[in-house]
Structure 1
Amino acid sequence: MYIVIAGGGTVGYNIASMLVVEDHEVVVVEQSEKAVEYLNQQLDIKTIFGNAAIPRILRDAEVQRADLVLAVTDRDETNMVICFIAKEMGAATTAARIRNSEYTGYFIPPAKSTLSARRIIRPKSLGIDVFINPEVEMAREILGILSSFYSTPVEQLANGLVQIRSFTIEGSPMVGKTLSELNFAKPCVVAAIARKEELLVPRPDLVLENEDALYLVAERDNMDYLGRMFSAIQRPARSVFILGGTQIGMLVAEGLADHDVVVKLIEPDEEKSQKAAVRLEKAVVLKGDPTDRDFLTEQGVPSADAFVATTENDEFNILSCLVAKNLGVDRSLTVINKPSYIPLAEAVDIDVAGSPAIITARKIAHFVLSGGAIAATLLESGQLEAVEFVVNPQAGIINQKVSQIEIPKEATIGAVVQNNQVIIPPDEAVIHAGDHVIVVSQLNVLHDVEKLFK
């Protein structure tokens, strides 16, 4: 696909890096010389220096032949203008990064007279096919984790019949065993293993080490049973502290309070804390220093179920989570604005480190599907992708057993769904036209995987 990205900041860079690995033709338009220089140093892509809201610049980017235009600058209004112009010039699909939710609805302008028809103006009338709100997506992920039994997000494919989740081995009897020696409580497939910053192919003779993260593919009803092999089940959070009166922090606070969770939001800034107190009717807003142990203890952090840091300062978020963990809070989650900080957060034992930029890239993955793919999601900070394929009647794998399919070693077929029946492990399943096949693959071989299903 030919994809134009307007905005080469953190979000644009992460999306571009994902798309390049998947062998898409990518052009990034950016008006910061420093950002353009960095993009050229890090990625093998074409860059254009300039303001993407100017038609001449978009013409230079050849948006008229673009399969997808992604407007991800820091300004909502600029992104809307870019999508409008790109659509008018012939772009097939446009997506805009929009933070203000009021822009995503429709409005009805006044009629010329009492008898005149009133016209409804919808986002598509403005040339925007898809709205992407990184803050809303990040808040949803945090809420999903806090309401579940485990501290890692779960991905769902095949209309929710199949789930993918990572579990980390920590001081478990599994350490030192090979994959073939593991006895899982329910049927599943180990689709990938993350060891420190390396992705490993899950071979039967692979010896497991402490802190290895195993990506399991299993039926929806079996995933919680499998999780008990790795850690004790945690009850859904009923008492949560949130750091930061940011958009993410406010959305998480509102979502939790609506489900009768006790929420306390800490905001060091006087003005922001006052605004948060006005907006959050069902939560307690505190002004204080989240790195002050005495303050946190006095407010009850040691007995809380979770501590969530959502400020725009990554170092402050990590430090605050460490203090909360040291005081005994069960779960710590932090928002990381620079994805390069995620390994640092994980290295100091913060339970979950999530990035709005990576969340956005994950959502974009759905719009660059090809080769019979109907759904996709990114895993392991964008290094892996789980894809749901529908087998084409002309595909070369028809009537083959899964175990006979010559798939790249960096990819694993985790499940086959035939007539809404899930087959896991799928090795003996015979592939038929119309089957749904779930594959977990490293990005660099995904193009070869797609060819199997065409």
Structure 2
Amino acid sequence: MRILILGAGDVGFHVAEQLSRENHDVVVIEQDRERAQAVQESMDALVIEGNGASLTVLERAGVAKTDLLLAVTSHDEINLMACLSAAQYKVPKRIARVSKPDYYDHTGILPPERLGVDLMINPERECALETYQLLQSAAATDFAQFEGGLVQLVGVRIKADAPVAGKRLLEIGKLAQQANALVVAISRGGKTIIPQGSTRIEAGDHAFILGEPRHLPDILPLAGYDRFNLRHVVIAGGSPEAHFLATLLEEHKIKCTIIESDRRRATELAEDLRQSLVLHGDATDLELLESEGIGSADGFVAYTGSDETNLLACLLAKNLGTRKVVSLIDRYNYIPLVTRVGVDAAVSPRMSAVNAIMRYVRRGSVLAVAALRGTRAEGIEFDVSERFPYRGRPLAEVKFPTGSLIGAIIRGQQVIIPRGTDAIHLADRVIVFALPEAVHKLEEIFA
């Protein structure tokens, strides 16, 4: 597939890198010379310097023969103009990154289709949705779902006193089987492991567990965590992400407190969010945190404009007793370090946008994709068609690519965490976890 990407910031760069690695024909348009050069040196992609809203530049990039346009610059207007132009060139699919409320709040009056857009991606909204999911469990450092939530993936850090620490997967197989769950990937010392039965779980491992939502609360205590009930969340910062998250919390009848340092913004939030308590103050002011009883909150989320402030606020809240703290991190390379310093989870609007785009972009029989943050692995959901060559054969007899693992089989509304005797049948949906080098081979098998 020929894919034209506008913008080589964090979102554009990571999407281009992923798609290039999967052997797509990738073209990147970027105005900034240094960014353009970084893309050229990092991946197999054609890079064109210029403004993505320019028809001349789009024609130079071969827009007329493009299958998919991804307009992901930091300027909404450029993204929308590029999609509108691409529609005139009959580009089949067009995605725009859009952050300003003026564009996505009035889609009833001016629908995206009129602007030539098939899908609008709002990084701040995607980030808030991911944060809300992470807050549902005290243990979760990462969260993704498949089949509309029928199957969920959570990342957890294995505690030293966890019942599973030091045990091989074969030894805990019965417990995992009872909970209908499976460890599908492990991050250890910067390395990603797609586990086998002989793989041993160690304290400090970042393990990714796949299972049904109703059973995951039963499996998480094995990692050393107690059960969790989300009743009160404190948000530091009045950013767009904070507004989205507070709205979600209000919809689910969860108490919400927002601490915002700018008086005018605090007033705006208080007027708009009638069920939330908005405080004017500094989220790193220990006296304020103590006086407001932040330590008794179930969750604390730092959404200020500074990574350093977010981390400090989270650590203060954690020290006061808040059970789950989540920090927004703009610098993607910081994310793997966050949980090592005491913060439970990190989110990034840009990477939330990347994940949303990748879920949409996948071709053929791919239904969904979830990147496992801090690892090289990802979860991919395939639809099983008549072209799948191993239908009806026990999994023990099938040799799947090295670095891949069948995590679950979905048959109707039934979730099967497979064993060697299970088989894949026509119309099943299969969730596979794999390293990048195995993804293309898997797509060939399932396509």
For the aligned pair, the TM-score class normalised by the smaller chain equals: over 0.9
One-letter amino acid of the structure 1 residue matched with residue 171 of structure 2: E
Question: In 1, Cα distance between the equivalents of 2:383 and 2:140?
Answer: 31
Question: In 2, Cα distance between the equivalents of 1:70 and 1:202?
Answer: 34
- 2:193 matches 1:204: no
One-letter amino acid of the structure 2 residue matched with residue 77 of structure 1: E
- Residues 107, 187 of structure 1: alpha-carbon distance in 2 compared, 3 angstrom cutoff: closer
Give aligned-pair identity as a percent: 33
After superposing on structure 2, the runs of 4+ consecutive aligned residues of structure 1 that deviate more than 4 Å are none
One-letter amino acid of the structure 2 residue matched with residue 4 of structure 1: L
Alignment-derived partner of residue 390 in structure 1: 383
Alignment-derived partner of residue 215 in structure 2: 222
Deviation at 1:132, TM superposition (A): 0.4
Contact preservation (8 Å) 2:194, 2:434: no
Alignment-derived partner of residue 351 in structure 1: 344
Alignment-derived partner of residue 29 in structure 1: 29
Q: 1:23-422 maps to which residues of 2 (within 5 A)? A: 23-104=23-104, 105-106=106-107, 121-148=110-137, 150-171=139-160, 172-182=162-172, 183-184=175-176, 185-381=178-374, 383-422=376-415
- Residues 2, 441 of structure 1: alpha-carbon distance in 2 compared, 3 angstrom cutoff: same
Deviation at 1:399, TM superposition (A): 3.0
Question: In 1, Cα distance between the equivalents of 2:279 and 2:411?
Answer: 53
One-letter amino acid of the structure 1 residue matched with residue 89 of structure 2: M
Contact preservation (8 Å) 1:139, 1:251: yes
Q: 1:431-446 maps to which residues of 2 (within 5 A)? A: 431-446=424-439
- Residues 195, 55 of structure 1: alpha-carbon distance in 2 compared, 3 angstrom cutoff: same
1:76-96 CA-to-partner distances (Å, cap 9, x unmatched) read 121110101112112110000
Deviation at 1:107, TM superposition (A): 5.2
Deviation at 1:419, TM superposition (A): 4.0
Deviation at 1:381, TM superposition (A): 4.7
One-letter amino acid of the structure 1 residue matched with residue 170 of structure 2: S
SS at match of 1:388: strand
Moved more, 192-201 or 140-149: 140-149
SS at match of 2:26: strand
Alignment-derived partner of residue 14 in structure 1: 14
One-letter amino acid of the structure 2 residue matched with residue 127 of structure 1: G
SS at match of 1:140: helix
TM-score norm. by structure 1 comes to 0.91
Moved more, 189-198 or 36-45: 36-45
Question: In 2, Cα distance between the equivalents of 1:175 and 1:396?
Answer: 38
One-letter amino acid of the structure 2 residue matched with residue 411 of structure 1: S
Deviation at 1:195, TM superposition (A): 1.3
Question: In 1, Cα distance between the equivalents of 2:280 and 2:60?
Answer: 50
Question: In 2, Cα distance between the equivalents of 1:344 and 1:217?
Answer: 23
Contact preservation (8 Å) 1:146, 1:236: no
Contact preservation (8 Å) 2:158, 2:206: yes
Contact preservation (8 Å) 2:233, 2:254: yes
One-letter amino acid of the structure 2 residue matched with residue 89 of structure 1: Y
Contact preservation (8 Å) 1:240, 1:307: yes
- Residues 158, 268 of structure 1: alpha-carbon distance in 2 compared, 3 angstrom cutoff: closer
- Residues 311, 188 of structure 1: alpha-carbon distance in 2 compared, 3 angstrom cutoff: same
SS at match of 2:408: strand
Question: In 2, Cα distance between the equivalents of 1:426 and 1:60?
Answer: 52
- Residues 257, 221 of structure 1: alpha-carbon distance in 2 compared, 3 angstrom cutoff: closer
SS at match of 1:396: coil
Question: In 2, Cα distance between the equivalents of 1:303 and 1:36?
Answer: 48
Structure 1 residue runs of 5 or longer lacking an equivalent are 109-120
- Residues 200, 335 of structure 1: alpha-carbon distance in 2 compared, 3 angstrom cutoff: same
- Residues 43, 157 of structure 1: alpha-carbon distance in 2 compared, 3 angstrom cutoff: same
Contact preservation (8 Å) 1:309, 1:333: yes
Deviation at 1:305, TM superposition (A): 1.5
- Residues 375, 198 of structure 1: alpha-carbon distance in 2 compared, 3 angstrom cutoff: same
1:261-282 CA-to-partner distances (Å, cap 9, x unmatched) read 3322112223333333333322
Question: In 2, Cα distance between the equivalents of 1:391 and 1:83?
Answer: 33
Contact preservation (8 Å) 1:416, 1:429: no
1:303-354 CA-to-partner distances (Å, cap 9, x unmatched) read 2212110122112111211121122211110111121110221221211101
Deviation at 1:158, TM superposition (A): 3.4
1:142-161 CA-to-partner distances (Å, cap 9, x unmatched) read 22232456434443323433
Structure 2 residue runs of 5 or longer lacking an equivalent are none
SS at match of 1:359: helix
- Residues 394, 283 of structure 1: alpha-carbon distance in 2 compared, 3 angstrom cutoff: closer
- Figure out how many residues of one structure are paired with residues of the other and give that number: 442
